[in-house]
């Protein structure tokens, strides 16, 4: 079985799409790049990230819900952390533990994003 897509309901489709294209390497597949209602982003290996406008402001992600992006080595993890920090986004300190090297960042809409590397995991 191959993961095809993930559909996230977000309050600001375009702000969230800009985050994922700028920091996570997604590209836009939609013909209407300015739609406030939906953005369809392409990732690696055919993965598609769909962002749709949230219908109710009261709808939020569970506290520990997050997306994890795995890198080949520590260098891209550190580069991600520096880049989002330089752009003024909320980002964690670098965490090194038995799982590897990790950083966490809040994308628009409160989505927690983990960027990490684990020796031998990629």
Hey, where are the domains in the chain?
5-53, 66-117
Look at 103 and 120; give whichever has higher pLDDT.
103
Residue 68 has pLDDT above 90, yes or no: yes
CATH of domain 5-53: 3.30.720.120
Same fold, 5-53 and 66-117: no
pTM reported for the whole predicted model: 0.88
Residue 121 has pLDDT above 60, yes or no: no
CA distances from 33 to 14, 20, 60, 66, 84 (A): 8, 14, 24, 25, 23
**Percent of the chain residues topping a pLDDT of 90:** 66
Average per-residue pLDDT in the chain? 89
CA distances from 89 to 35, 58, 114 (A): 24, 23, 14
12-48 per-position pLDDT tens digit: 999 999 999 999 999 987 666 788 899 999 988 889 9
pLDDT at 30: 65
CATH of domain 66-117: 3.10.180.10
Which burial class, exposed, middle or buried, applies to 99 when counting CB atoms under 10 A from its CB (0-12, 13-18, 19+)?
Answer: exposed
Beta strands in 1-122 (DSSP E): 5-10, 27-28, 38-42, 48-53, 66-71, 95-97, 100-107, 111-117
């Amino acid at each position: 079985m191959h993961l095809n897509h993930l559909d996230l309901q977000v309050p600001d489709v375009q702000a969230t799409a800009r985050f994922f294209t700028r920091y996570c390497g997604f590209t836009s597949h939609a013909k209407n790049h300015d739609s406030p209602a939906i953005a369809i982003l392409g990732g690696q290996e055919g993965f598609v990230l769909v962002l749709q406008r949230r219908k109710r402001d009261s709808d939020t992600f569970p506290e520990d819900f997050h997306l994890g992006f795995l890198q080949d080595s520590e260098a891209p993890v550190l580069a991600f952390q520096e880049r989002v920090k330089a752009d003024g986004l909320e980002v964690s300190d670098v965490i090194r533990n038995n799982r590897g090297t990790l950083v966490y960042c809040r994308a628009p809409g409160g989505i927690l994003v983990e960027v990490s590397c684990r020796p031998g995991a990629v």
